[in-house]
Amino acid sequence: VYYKPDGSVLVEALRGVSLSIPAGQYVAIMGASGSGKSTMMNILGCLDRPTSGVYLLDGQDCVTMNDEEISAYRGRKIGFIFQAFNLIPELTVRENVEVPLFYQGVSPAERRRKAEAVLGMVGLDQRLGHRPSELSGGQQQRCAIARALVTSPVVLMADEPTGNLDSATGKAVLKIFNDLHKIGITIIMVTHAPEVAALCQRVVRLRDGVVESDTMQVPSTLE
């Protein structure tokens, strides 16, 4: 619920949503503008707290944590991937991927080892010393995926991850998500594209703050 300055209700973004996502599932969140999907992703990503209710992430109730606890927990448990990549232009590819580990106090040698391992997973092991401006859009998104993976999170949350990419590049990035799902990583992806949602095991559609439909499906294959 979002409130006006006088305390009255401005908008009830989500209304009584009950959702359970098991480990290893690949889920698409869909809905028109204003349906509540951004609010849902912010709550699932521990960026916002629900006004009421419970949110369990890997068995812990995030609603009862204080700001410092939830920030640390979010950093360990969730990997975020955005449409705009959000890479730091002054840092190299490897340094960008190391950033979450730096904030967790991981040693430089261990940061380097883990960063290079996940960059190898996304096919960027030959670009370690490059800066974001020297990469294509698809390579920048691969770097962002590696950064999200480097902390070994329990869930990847992706917000329109192919929205800034052309069709062929977007398919290449979606193949990485498919490969990550195959090795058991939980993925929650906001998308407006039916062809992207078709790749997922489950599609949750929101409308006016409620779950309009919640459907399991056989994922389509990338051509």
pLDDT at 11: 54
Helix (H) or strand (E) holding 118: helix 108-121
Q: Which pLDDT score is estimated for 148?
A: 97
At 182 the pLDDT is: 93
Query: Which pTM was predicted?
Result: 0.91
Q: What is the full DSSP assignment across 123-170?
A: T-TT-TT--GGGS-HHHHHHHHHHHHHTT--SEEEEESTTTTS-HHHH
What is d(CA 147, CA 140) in angstroms, rounded to the nearest whole number? 11
Q: Please give the average pLDDT of every successive group of 10 residues along the chain, which has 223 residues.
A: 55 78 96 88 91 91 94 95 94 98 96 97 96 97 97 95 93 95 95 94 94 95 80
Q: What is the largest CA-CA distance in the chain?
A: 56
